[in-house]
Amino acid sequence: MRLRDVLSVLSKSSPYAVKTDRETALSDELDKVKDYLYIETDMESDFRSHLQSLAIGKKKIIYLCGSSGDGKSEILTRYRKNYENIAHFHLDATHSFSPKETAIERLNKLFSDYESGDKSLVVGINIGMLGNYAEEGDYENAKIAITNYLNSSIETEGYIFIDFERYPKFKLESHRYTSDFTEKLLRRITSTDNNIIRQYYDKELKHHDADLKLCTNYYLLSLPSIQRIVVELLFKARLMKDQFLTARGLLDFVYHIFTGPGYLFDNIFTCQDNEIVSKIADFDPALRRTKLIDQFVLSQKLGIDDPDFDEFRFSLRLKNFDLHKLNSPESNIRFFYIVQNEELGNNYHKRFKPDFSDDLLDRYATIWRLHKMPKETDNKTELRPFYRDILMAAISKYVNKNAPQLGKKDFLLASRGRYLITAHLDIKPDNAAIKLESENGIENVSHFLAFLKINGKTLKPIPININLLELLLRIVQGYQPNKHDKNAVVLLDELLDKLHEIASKEKTLFIISDQLRFNLNDVEGNGSELEVSGG
């Protein structure tokens, strides 16, 4: 068996992609590879603890909730045999056992059997099916428990919900972003010690017809610095493209970057038949327009000699791989990107490293962490530039884009010819709410909550994702949003609608024209008597 065959267990089209109760092995060798790759997660550890707490006479229903590809079937199958004496296992609640029976009807039967029996029940189910059963199911106790959980995350006695979403694939730590499962998987695949896959890699290198491109890709991904870059790209896809990471999706992604038509650094950005790669493609370093990258691409296409680059390529030849044969300048840029933290030859590639830096990702991570600092830390001072110079400044510029002469506290409500109708809004960060949020244990890296006070009143928390942060930064620099900003501008418009509603109810409005400023006061507060002053 060759290395490519062994890596096939990673593919989503492999029979190993979904765990079933097979009695016979498909392949002894591939079964060993599959078992070797298995990684226990914190979620699985909690699930096992709940199973161990089950006892005859103390029935419970345990829901293992996740999306397709999360690994529900893998986990349930792994524990089914050891606990089937005290619990009935239903691996996939989206299916029934008969063409004449719906998934809802099958759940009705399961809950009925559970009520009349003495065993606990363990159900693999996705959140969508939970919602469907809460609306369409017949078993009232289960419907109430599911509704309580979906609406307010409250667990009813006798019902346990273990949700993959509560075990995020990415975390923002003090000085880095991590993905524990992804990092463990990449290390497991490429480890030099006691690694069955590594043994096939070593054999492949010695083969008379070795697949050198595949071996090169395996070697590259075994480098810790490249693994870190892969994690960063996956993190960016999660933040900026809403790409969720399931176990099956991650395995298939790794399979594609190993076995795609090109080298690993090309496969990461150009293999369009993989869902994750199709999102990462927008981060292709070869698409960056900087002076140094443009000069390199142009000089390569014009065939201009570059002795330093030639020396660099010669050093790659000594690695026994054929990376020195790369002819495409775009491929070279991608190669420079993934090895930017490696020492290679004369380090020609390192001159491009500043062009690959991602200030937006670092800035987002910093602001996110500041909102999550523990209560004993004074984060008010460090957060002030975000609220003052980014969020509040962008709000002012965006709402007053047609009247840039207005002050920061003026909120444009309407314009009639040369007359502007404005309200005065005193917008400040809500430090008390920020401090309270920092004590909240829930950590969702896809966004952070910003808190503002408007004229002394607390505004509903504002979810800010990385795309909205980027839009705010660009508005501060003078950019005017358009239809291409899509979801980010929708989030901003929702915030401005709230502010407009508050501003329009102010007792005092201002009518401004050239150097004139009139105050329009609602004396009674109901619009029945208006008082005009100023001039």
Tens of pLDDT, residue by residue over 281-337, are: 999 999 999 999 999 999 999 999 999 999 998 888 766 567 777 889 999 999 999
**Which of 166, 186, 215 is at the close of a domain?**
166
Q: Are residues 254 and 403 in the same domain?
A: no
CB 77 within 8 A of CB 108: no
Q: Are residues 398 and 341 in the same domain?
A: no
Tens of pLDDT, residue by residue over 177-215, are: 889 999 999 999 999 999 999 999 999 999 999 999 999
Q: Are residues 182 and 311 in the same domain?
A: yes
pLDDT at 21 over 60: no
Q: Are residues 139 and 222 in the same domain?
A: no
Whether 370 is in a domain gets the answer: yes
Give the containing element (helix H, strand E) for 67.
none
Q: Are residues 150 and 134 in the same domain?
A: yes
**Which of 308, 341, 356 is at the close of a domain?**
356
Whether 82 is in a domain gets the answer: yes
The residues, ordered by sequence, that sit 6+ positions from 443 with a Cβ below 8 Å of its Cβ are: 168, 171, 172, 372
Q: Are residues 219 and 346 in the same domain?
A: yes
Whether 423 is in a domain gets the answer: yes
Please tell me the distance from the alpha carbon of residue 141 to that of residue 361, in angstroms, as a whole number.
45
Global pTM value: 0.86
**What is the extent of the structural domain holding 211?**
171-356
Whether 16 is in a domain gets the answer: no
Whether 145 is in a domain gets the answer: yes
Whether 519 is in a domain gets the answer: yes
**Which of 114, 147, 166 is at the close of a domain?**
166
pLDDT given at position 23? 47
How close are the terminal C-alpha atoms of the chain, in Å?
89
Q: Are residues 349 and 373 in the same domain?
A: no
What order do you get walking across the sheet with 508-513 strand by strand? 410-416, 419-424, 508-513, 516-522, 530-534
Tally the domains of the chain.
3
Q: Are residues 491 and 528 in the same domain?
A: yes
Please tell me the distance from the alpha carbon of residue 189 to that of residue 204, in angstroms, as a whole number.
15
Tens of pLDDT, residue by residue over 220-272, are: 999 999 999 999 999 999 999 988 888 889 999 999 999 999 999 999 999 77
- Between the ranges 15-19, 43-47, 441-445, where is the mean pLDDT highest? 43-47
Q: Are residues 77 and 181 in the same domain?
A: no
Query: Residue 55, Cβ neighbours under 10 Å: how many?
Result: 10
Q: Are residues 236 and 310 in the same domain?
A: yes
Whether 15 is in a domain gets the answer: no
Whether 283 is in a domain gets the answer: yes
Q: Are residues 388 and 511 in the same domain?
A: yes
Tally the residues of the chain. Answer: 535
For residue 76, what is the domain's CATH number? Answer: 3.40.50
Q: Are residues 319 and 197 in the same domain?
A: yes
pLDDT at 478 over 80: yes
Please state the rounded mean pLDDT for residues 356-377: 83
